Amino acid sequence: MHSIDYIIIAAYFVLVTYLGYYAMKRVSNFDDYAVAGRSLPMPVFFAAIAATLCGGGATIGRISFMHTTGIIVFFALSGVVINQIFSGLYISERVHNAGKHIYSLGDLYGLYYGRSGRFLSSIFAFLFCVGGFGVQILAMGSILQTATGISLIPAALIASLVTLMYTWWGGILAVTLTDAVQYVIIIIGVTLCGYLAIDHLGGFDAMMNILYANPRFATNLQPLAGWGIVRFLGLFFSFLLGEFCAPYFIQRYASTKSAKDSKSGLLIFGVHWVFFMATTAAIGLASMAIQPDVKPDLAFTNLIRDILPAGITGLVFGALLAAVMSTGAAMINTASVIYTRDIYNKFIRPEATQSELLHQSRMSTLVVGGISIGVAILFQDVFGLMIYMFKLWPSAILPPLLCGLLWGRISPYAGAPAVIAGGLSCFIWGDKVLGEPFGIPANFVGIGLNCLTLFLVHQAMKNRRPEGVFAPDVN
């Protein structure tokens, strides 16, 4: 790359580091660190949600998937639009209006299912965020590896340490401030890349002619890419439910000035996501035409390096880093808040002051970063790790959470058994153990057994007064 490209990337690192330092001076207690003092206006909330969802899986991972499987990924991704619009209409307002004691997913589970529900949901939410940051670390490494020639792991460490630094300083305030800047960079960079890549091929029609002339892509360009309907539905539901009510979204719903800000931001995002999907689809098709034999995980980054002019290359690499770092920062911050609020404050030191909780949050941010780096080194497959997480999350967490938020009359005794049944059955049925027998997706099995357990326990215990660890935890 040209020296101007390296200067642009370095300037981006300096900018986000400065924003983290700026936010640190405005964070004085745990409320500021965890929910930004519940003061986020709608435009900042929208940018935070958009930047969080435009991460490594949505860019590098998605284009990698197009090389290996085809455009079916974009039909499946319509599930993200549906879940965000549904969240805007029915979920975000309920979370915001649940009260000022709501910081995390565990607080909602505690409200509906007592301390047992809080503890189990917090464990799953914590692991989900740790694994999610692992995905982003791999994506950051891929970007810097292509841009600088550094090997994957050292490159990943450099980018993850910068992300850890500004998140450690300023908490969610730093995350949302950097998200607002990163969102603008993402949109400019990704749009430029899509336009210039297609222009490099001589236009859209010329690109499609190249693709149809290559027999390797004949199946990939079909809507279902040779997939059976059950297998496709498994992927669709992975996207529909995989990040639905994810812990970093719950935290953001609680951080806005009003319930209306949350609702409006999510509905606007649902429309925006259609544009982002179309842009990344165009980049994926151009990548297949220009570099059909590339290693899939390096498809996007190699495309940027090889076809974009000096200056634009650095800008688009900066946009990719922005996309990945914003998502990673959200996951680090949320994991630290989960530990501090749902484990330390509730089970270790209930009398902890705001100052003590702030200290614990900052220390746990560093621990989460270290654990996630280990996860990234063990699982060097960006998209595969993301899909695995997207199957496990709804299987364990979603049915009890939605019953609590949308219905509210569920027995407190039903939450913990349903979480265990759903999460365990998905894990056993899935790729890592049984390998999805009969072609039935693991998330179908997990969600089904979660719902069945929830129903049976509710019917058996609905007239019993909750007590002990099942009594609502509303402090």
**Residuewise pLDDT in 10s, the chain (475 residues):** 788 888 888 888 888 888 888 888 888 899 998 998 898 999 989 988 888 887 766 787 788 888 888 788 778 888 888 999 999 999 999 999 988 889 999 999 999 999 999 999 999 899 888 888 877 787 788 788 887 888 877 888 888 888 888 888 888 888 888 888 878 888 888 888 899 999 999 999 999 999 888 887 777 787 776 777 887 887 788 788 878 899 999 999 999 999 999 999 999 988 888 888 888 889 999 999 999 888 887 888 888 888 888 888 888 888 777 777 888 888 889 999 999 999 999 999 999 999 999 999 999 998 888 888 777 777 666 556 667 777 888 999 999 999 999 998 899 999 999 999 999 999 999 877 898 898 888 889 999 999 999 999 999 999 998 888 888 887 7
Radius of gyration for the chain, computed over Cα atoms and rounded to the nearest angstrom: 22
3-379 adopts what CATH topology?
Sodium/glucose cotransporter (1.20.1730)
Distances (CA, A) of 321 to 9, 413, 436: 9, 44, 35
| DSSP-assigned letter for residue 215 | G
Residues in Cβ contact with 431 at an 8 Å cutoff, skipping those fewer than 6 apart:
388, 442
Q: Which residues contact 208 (CB under 8 A, 6 or more apart)?
A: 285
Helix (H, G, I), strand (E, B) or coil at 256: strand
Name the nearest CA neighbour of 323 among 377, 283, 268, 366.
283
Q: 65 with 285: CB under 8 angstroms?
A: no
Distance CA 209, CA 201 (A): 10
Question: Which tokens sit at 242?
Answer: 């995989």
* φ, ψ of residue 276 in degrees (nearest 5): -65, -40
Closest by CA to 39, choosing from 305, 256, 202, is 256
State how far Cα 159 lies from the chain centre. 18
Could you write out the DSSP letters of every residue in 84-142? HHHIIIIIHHHHHHT-TT--SHHHHHHHHHHHHHHHHHHHHHHHHHHHHHHHHHHHHHH
Q: Where are the beta strands (DSSP E) in 263-336?
A: none
Q: Write down the pLDDT at residue 115.
A: 93
In angstroms, rounded to a whole number, what is the distance separating the alpha carbons of residues 109 and 116? 9
Q: Could you tell me if 141 and 372 are in contact, meaning their C-beta atoms sit under 8 angstroms apart?
A: no
Q: How far is CA 305 from CA 1, 41, 311, in A?
A: 7, 37, 11
3-state secondary structure at position 438: helix
Residue showing tokens 């080194």: 377
Q: d(Cα 266, Cα 239) in Å, to the nearest integer? A: 16
- Cα–Cα distances in angstroms (integers) from residue 237 to residues 1, 138, 249, 409, in the given order: 40, 24, 18, 26
How far is it between the farthest Cα atoms of the chain?
70
For residue 10, the tally of other CB atoms under 10 A from its CB is: 12
Please say whether the dihedral angle defined by the alpha carbons of residues 180, 184, 185 and 189, taken in this order, is positive or negative: positive
Per-residue pLDDT, 450: 97
CA distances from 317 to 19, 303, 333 (A): 20, 11, 24
| Distance (Å, whole) CA 396 – CA 415 | 10
CA separation for the pair 376, 385 (Å, rounded): 9
Residue type, 36: A
Q: Residue ranges per domain, the chain?
A: 3-379
CA distance 240 to 251: 20
